[in-house]
């Protein structure tokens, strides 16, 4: 297989698929269009029975992905992060993909792209990249299944530090906590990533697929009652109805710091 | 205590509070205003340490309550049934009230008023009344904690028959299944209700309050994962964004049958 | 639409689908073949956007369905009731069908067919039919999601009486407990069933589909830990490895009472 | 086997065990001593591989059991209903007994004996008996697993009516709701009970044991978080530390109505 | 705002509150009195809409907090760690505080103070401090929601090592595991802490409050059945009724090592 | 106590038990026989009230344990990892042992032995050992409670890397993530391990036993619905019925790399 779609490149060889986010003009932001192409590429990989997939940006990228396409966030009283929105569809496509997806990260990772990368099964990164979870800076009410994904991968203290400060976190701290499996110099990034994929490809694809699904089910089993969810939903609605939410988006477009009033 | 608020009358005597829905012009529909008064009355009862509360309509009512105030449902892309909406606030106020609330039902009960009545601890009803759960007729996407309340009280088969047909159900079937504790002739309704309240009032209020809370917690423990909830939320959003939702509301105001297209 | 498949007839008119189990030689037993046809019929109904489906046997049937096809149960150390076996596929197809499925029951219902009928949203039955849950008589280790389905519909005491005695239960007791919504003379069976379907068809199909899914999720939320499940699985394996399991199947084919030894 | 222990008689014949509560001077109250004998009898039945057990009072009893032995309730700042107390041990012994236990009830059933009877798998009762859940009258803070047992068997509305009024409920209402499987004249009580036991005994004991365990696990799966439990525990402690708790016990011994103050 | 309460000092400036535990005579032990003042200070911070709170001891402290006030533990058959006890109230106050609480730790942290510090959202510590979870040394039966809090923050292996050995753990190991976000020389402690708080304060307070609540709900969702909880409660009661429990407290006051007998 | 059983040596002194796996011919593989001896040794320790147990291989071992005895895996359509299989019994025996079990690891740890070691409360290891989770290389469908155990101890990213690559992981990475509490030179291994055990032995055995049980319950509370389990069970069955499963076992005996086809 060798397919070329608009915003994403997909190649498969030796059982290893490689998907390259390739929308440099928009810094690989997670627009509806790019996510559609990403999901299509994953389906193509599925049909070709890839036993491991590497998700990457073009070599030498300064930005791995800029996160949400802020232009696509609704501005008037609509929930900006719902089940069928691009980021959630991409996260589910990766989680349900029946073989390991390895994020090979070069450059900075912003906002929703952090969750995209953390929804991958393994992360290998160049030792100079950074991760910034920016929702608190943007004023966007993150949804609870997104938060669960981050918490499952990061552990509580680092998750809170990243979410609450919204600052870029150097990859070394993530590697130290084991969230990023390997942080290596750029020159070795591809070699290290590929060697892990090659080890995976030799093993039983049925067993790996089972293990991935068992781990997904166990880590998704943080069950809550309906009323609790609806209460959280109401907190979220209060936020996307707020003046601060408008301020966050306006400040982003005007390239200035937002002034949040808490209402 | 003898308080009079606009849409609800509240009296307490001998440890038994009586709250009378009293907005006949709007058939006691569950408007923001009426629910505010109802919640205020319950708080007043709490302060006066009522050991049992009877919730009723004025004697001789043909309609106990007409359910949601359709005029208050949002029409444009907004969730019509959220955590802070009147019905949910009233249901929580009854569930968290630290003494039994007995619904004394005369006349027909429509839509959201069914859940209001079923959130009471006991239902005593005149043998000629009916209950109609009308959301499927109105086209309104009922929320999951509301559905849970009905399911907990009704049992599955009757709950489905009522929800799917949206027809008025004669009280006799509800009494037969034990959902309504006693269905009696109108002449005896008040006597029977009051005698139950009097038995309750003699018992330990601390123990009754504990038992009510234990039962509430156990029946609210139908836990689901965040992603499941968000999927349901997306189904609901698809409905309140639909043409059918508009059609349901328009048909209601034009007093005609709605023509649903399934989109 | 008017499709004819081998073991099942399917017709749709006025938004109401009718699926007739039609394998009289094998008393509509739930063989792999019949279930395939049933699932295909439901999919056909889905494509044609049926708003209600009636599941029935041919008019005048003495047996609605004889339950599992005992000939298809494995005899050597294999789990006889697993996720992909015919009964489970049929139950899931009914539960996930996005509109109400009404069982219209005439004649006796045996074994697995009880669960099939109880997985329907509503049951309307002729007043002379009977339901027998025969697994304890057959010696078959019923699986836990099957037991959950029965428990959700039946309530505990009746469920235990039926499962432990394995005797045919007259429909009147089921109707009395509300499990069967209406038990009527054979002459009126079709009229009553159809009138319920007609009420459903007028309502919002989107809302009914949502309500059905919400109820399914809530009643499926009896969560257990992995170790508990594996312990139950081991109890089940001990049974399908036992001499009694062989005895149950042999006795069935030899048309004699089994002699169980408890090992 | 034919064993005679002090407060309980135990006989087994034809695979059917019969345990007779036999402490008439104390109205079969659930004292430490009687429960020890009951549990020993059940263990004896287990060793002899009884396939069904009938739990009964002597023929002609006016009181089936008077419930807790109030003399054994602690009076000073100690939780009166804990995991190892007699009633809880007896309930667990019945729930974990690997064959059905059938309560054959003659005479009135008081307090904790209601839970004991409802923890049995089936209840057959004489049509003149009554059930009174008296904790709210006694002022005793019922524990949450006890409440769960009642709720699982009774359904919510009847459970609340019995718990909140603390009045004797005629068996007919319980039979109507299916909680008591059969309510028959005293003359036929033994025949009906025995015929159910005989049907059970013919079936696969391994399968019945599995089904009982599956149902127990599913109905015990109302999971709550640790903090919620500890909050309930604090409500309970407030009660057993209260003046009302002392009043309830004193009134019992002085054979007068308690005067509860709510503190 | 600039409030001074007896055992705790509270100041708020630039959206950042600072609460200083200030009871040096008792080494800031978590007495009823100190906790009351701490909770009052947090409420004051809430009213003034602090966007981050720093919880600290006075500069130069050798002991951050000595943990439980052993003098306040009950000695006779009473549960020493219940829902309304000081530590639990403080932990809930911090968890429910709608903005991040940052523990700025100087000096050693003992017993219950470990949980207090770990219930904070972030921990910044001087690189010479230690943490000792001493319940196993004191003989006190820790409650399950307390253990859950530690497990959520620490991860299993470190949590077990700390709980089972009861030895002071150097902060470096905690920092290595990411439990303490930053361990820095005393001279830089305040600067580092303050710079994190300043980053937080610039972000959306509504979003941060939502994220904190979502994380709290997810990490509190380790649900258990009522019977399991009551079994744990019985294990705990056996301990606070034991001779070892008395021995632990006596040894503490007599400043000697306890001799535990396991009964 | 000083017992000698065939494959395992057990000694207890000063409250500290030491269990030495001692079957060098089979590299301490987890055969039925060795596990029986291990469980018997733990029971013996229980009877002698050991307050800590060290689980080790003989000094100087090159292999700590080779994992499953592949000769004992069933080859024809039978689940190879069920509730009563040796590994699961050993894991439960360690988890339910009422005092800490410390794994003192020297040499490489293979396959199921990784879970055995990780089910211990603490791991102290020589700094040259390795851990390899080999199920994906063997083609064996790991069961969900086994996966849960690994996930609880390892954290997600490392768990996935180890499971998906099936490569030996140097202990340093495990120590870095806190999974192995201490990795020390072989010369100091016994001293370090013993000093931890000695600290534990001085503390309250009742409290430690409670803490261990509380942590076990909390980390086992990842609850799922019955249908989800049965779906996983079906995935597992598909694997042990597959040609790849046969290939994995054959390749093992023929000492060659397996060629997996994914079917
Ligand atoms: Ni009737
Ligand atoms: Ni339930
Ligand atoms: Ni968890």
Q: The CATH number of the domain where F24 resides is what?
A: 3.90.226.10
Question: What burial letters (b/e) apply to D55-69, b meaning 16+ CB within 10 Å?
Answer: bbbeeebebbbbbbb
* Interchain contact B225–E (C-beta under 8 A): no
Residue E39, helix vs strand vs coil = helix
Judged against a pLDDT cut of 50, whether residue E9 lies above it is answered with yes
* Interchain contact F215–E (C-beta under 8 A): yes
H or E element in which residue B64 lies: strand B63-65
pLDDT of res. C165: 97
Q: Which phi and psi angles does D29 have, rounded to 5°?
A: -70, 155
Please give the distance, rounded to the nearest whole angstrom, from the Cα atom of residue A218 to the centre of ligand 3.
8
pLDDT of res. C179: 95
Q: Are D110 and D65 in contact (CB under 8 A)?
A: yes
- Mean pLDDT confidence for E246-251: 92
Beta-carbon contacts of residue B175 (< 8 Å; ≥ 6 apart): B125, B127, B181, B182, B183
Domain that residue E194 falls in:
2-202
Chains D and F: how many Cβ contacts under 8 Å? 5
CA distance A66 to A58: 14
**What confidence category does residue A234 fall into, taking pLDDT thresholds of 50, 70 and 90?**
very high
Q: Does the residue D128 lie in any domain? A: yes
- A71: how many CB neighbours lie within 10 A of its CB? 11
Sign of the Cα torsion C103, C108, C113, C114 reads positive
Contact at CB, A221 and C221, closer than 8 angstroms: no
pLDDT of res. E155: 87
* Interchain contact A217–C (C-beta under 8 A): no
Six-digit token pair at B7? 């849409």
Chains A and E: how many Cβ contacts under 8 Å? 120
Please give the distance, rounded to the nearest whole angstrom, from the Cα atom of residue C63 to the centre of ligand 3.
49
Measured between beta carbons, which residues in chain F are less than 8 angstroms from residue C92?
227
CA distance A238 to B79: 13
**Per-residue pLDDT tens digits for D172-198:** 999 999 999 999 999 999 999 999 999
Contact at CB, E178 and A165, closer than 8 angstroms: no
Residues of chain B with confidence (pLDDT) below 50: 1-4
pLDDT of res. A1: 42
* Interchain contact B159–C (C-beta under 8 A): yes
Q: Does the residue D54 lie in any domain? A: yes
**Per-residue pLDDT tens digits for C4-56:** 457 999 999 999 999 999 999 999 999 999 999 999 999 999 999 999 999 99
| Cα A115 from chain centroid (whole Å) | 3
* Interchain contact F218–D (C-beta under 8 A): yes
Residues in chain B: 263
Q: Tally the domains of chain F.
A: 1
Q: Does the residue C183 lie in any domain? A: yes
pLDDT of res. C1: 43
Which residues pair with residue A131 across a beta bridge? Answer: A109, A169
Please give the distance, rounded to the nearest whole angstrom, from the Cα atom of residue C176 to the centre of ligand 1.
6
**Per-residue pLDDT tens digits for C93-145:** 999 999 999 999 999 999 999 999 999 999 999 999 999 999 999 999 999 99
Six-digit token pair at E68? 């439980």
pLDDT of res. A77: 87
- Counting as contact any 3 or more CB pairs under 8 A, the partners of A are B, C, E, F
Q: Does the residue A256 lie in any domain? A: no
Residue F243, helix vs strand vs coil = helix
* Interchain contact E2–A (C-beta under 8 A): no
Q: What is the 3-state secondary structure (H, E, C) of chain A?
A: CEEECCCEEEEEECCEEEEEECCHHHCCCECHHHHHHHHHHHHHHHHCCCCEEEEECCCCCCEEECCECHHHCCCCCCCCCCCCCHHHHHHHHHHHCCCCEEEEECCEEECHHHHHHHCCCEEEEECCCEEECCHHHHCCCCCHHHHHHHHHHHCHHHHHHHHHHCCCEEHHHHHHCCCCCEEECHHHHHHHHHHHHHHHHHCCHHHHHHHHHHHHHHHCCCCECHHHHHHHHHHHHHHHCCHHHHHHHHHHHCCCCCCCCCC
Contact at CB, F139 and A206, closer than 8 angstroms: yes
User: Is residue D68 among the annotated active site residues?
Assistant: yes
**Per-residue pLDDT tens digits for E58-99:** 999 999 999 999 999 997 789 999 999 999 999 999 999 999
Q: Does the residue C262 lie in any domain? A: no
Name the strands in the sheet holding C169-170, side by side, starting at the edge strand that comes first in the sequence. Answer: C63-65, C108-110, C130-132, C169-170
Judged against a pLDDT cut of 80, whether residue C92 lies above it is answered with yes
* Interchain contact D114–C (C-beta under 8 A): no
Six-digit token pair at C138? 């057959």
CA distance F182 to E19: 37
Q: Are E177 and F178 in contact (CB under 8 A)?
A: yes
Beta-carbon contacts of residue E245 (< 8 Å; ≥ 6 apart): E139, E140, E141, E239
Q: Does the residue C236 lie in any domain? A: no
Helix, strand, coil fractions of chain C, as percent rounded to 5: 50, 20, 35
CA distance E29 to E21: 9
Residue E125, helix vs strand vs coil = strand
* Interchain contact A2–C (C-beta under 8 A): no
DSSP B52: E
Write the DSSP string, F172-230.
HHHHHTTSSSEEE-HHHHHHHHHHHHHHHHHS-HHHHHHHHHHHHHHHT---B-HHHHH
pLDDT of res. B3: 45
Six-digit token pair at D144? 């949450």
Judged against a pLDDT cut of 70, whether residue A52 lies above it is answered with yes
Contact at CB, B165 and C203, closer than 8 angstroms: yes
Q: Please name the residue of chain D whose CA is at the shortest distance from the CA of residue B212.
A: D160
pLDDT of res. D1: 43
Strands (E), chain F: 2-4, 8-13, 16-21, 52-56, 63-65, 101-105, 108-110, 122-126, 130-132, 169-170, 182-184
Give the minimum alpha-carbon distance from B237 to chain E in angstroms, rounded to a whole number.
21
CA distance B190 to B67: 23
pLDDT of res. E3: 45
Judged against a pLDDT cut of 70, whether residue D4 lies above it is answered with no
From A171, A131, A172, A129, select the one nearest A150 (Cα to Cα). A131
Q: Are C115 and C91 in contact (CB under 8 A)?
A: yes
From the list F156, F164, F262, the residue facing A100 with the nearest CB is F164
pLDDT of res. F1: 43
User: Is residue F240 among the annotated active site residues?
Assistant: no
Measured between beta carbons, which residues in chain F are less than 8 angstroms from residue D223?
221, 223
**Per-residue pLDDT tens digits for C138-165:** 999 999 999 999 999 888 999 999 999 9
Please give the distance, rounded to the nearest whole angstrom, from the Cα atom of residue D222 to the centre of ligand 2.
6
Contact at CB, D181 and C158, closer than 8 angstroms: yes
Q: Does the residue E189 lie in any domain? A: yes
Q: Does the residue A143 lie in any domain? A: yes
Contact at CB, E230 and D148, closer than 8 angstroms: no
Kindly report the average pLDDT of chain C as a whole number.
94
Catalytic center residues of E: 68, 112, 142
CA distance F87 to E263: 33
Which residues pair with residue E9 across a beta bridge? Answer: E4, E20
CA distance A109 to A132: 6
Alpha-carbon separation of residue B45 from B2, B10, B11, B123, D144 (angstroms): 10, 8, 9, 19, 27
Q: Counting ligands in written order, which one lies closest to the CA of residue D222?
A: 2
Alpha-carbon separation of residue A146 from A82, A133, A153, D6 (angstroms): 10, 12, 11, 63
CA distance F46 to F43: 5
Chain B neighbours among C 86-105 (CB < 8 Å)?
A: 100
From D167, D59, D56, select the one nearest D122 (Cα to Cα). D56
Judged against a pLDDT cut of 80, whether residue C218 lies above it is answered with yes
Residues of chain F with confidence (pLDDT) below 70: 1-5
pLDDT of res. A192: 98
Contact at CB, B145 and A223, closer than 8 angstroms: no
From D13, D14, D11, D33, select the one nearest D23 (Cα to Cα). D33
Measured between beta carbons, which residues in chain A are less than 8 angstroms from residue B87?
none
Residues in chain C: 263
pLDDT of res. F61: 96
């Amino acid at each position: 297989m060798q397919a070329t779609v608009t915003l994403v490149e997909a190649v498969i060889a030796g059982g290893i698929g490689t998907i390259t986010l390739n929308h440099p003009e928009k810094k690989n932001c997670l627009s509806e269009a790019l996510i559609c192409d990403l999901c299509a590429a994953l389906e193509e990989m599925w049909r070709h029975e890839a036993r491991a997939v590497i998700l990457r940006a073009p070599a030498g990228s300064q930005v791995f992905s800029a996160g949400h396409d802020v232009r696509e966030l609704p501005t008037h009283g609509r929930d900006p992060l719902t089940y069928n929105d691009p980021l959630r569809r991409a996260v589910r496509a990766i989680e349900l993909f029946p073989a390991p997806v390895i994020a090979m990260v070069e450059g900075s990772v912003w906002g929703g792209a952090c969750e995209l990368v953390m929804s991958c099964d393994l992360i290998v990164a160049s030792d100079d990249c950074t991760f910034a979870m920016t929702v608190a800076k943007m004023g966007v009410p993150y949804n609870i299944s997104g938060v669960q994904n981050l918490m499952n991968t990061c552990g509580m203290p680092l998750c809170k530090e990243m979410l609450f400060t919204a600052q870029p976190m150097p990859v070394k701290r993530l590697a130290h906590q084991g969230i990023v499996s390997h942080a290596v110099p750029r020159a070795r990034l591809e070699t290290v990533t590929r060697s892990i994929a090659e080890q995976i490809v030799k093993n039983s694809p049925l067993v790996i697929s089972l293990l991935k699904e068992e781990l997904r089910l166990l880590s998704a089993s943080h069950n809550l009652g309906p009323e609790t969810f609806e209460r959280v939903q109401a907190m979220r609605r209060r936020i996307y109805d707020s003046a601060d939410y408008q301020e966050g988006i306006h400040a982003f477009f005007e390239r200035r710091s937002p002034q949040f009033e808490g209402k």
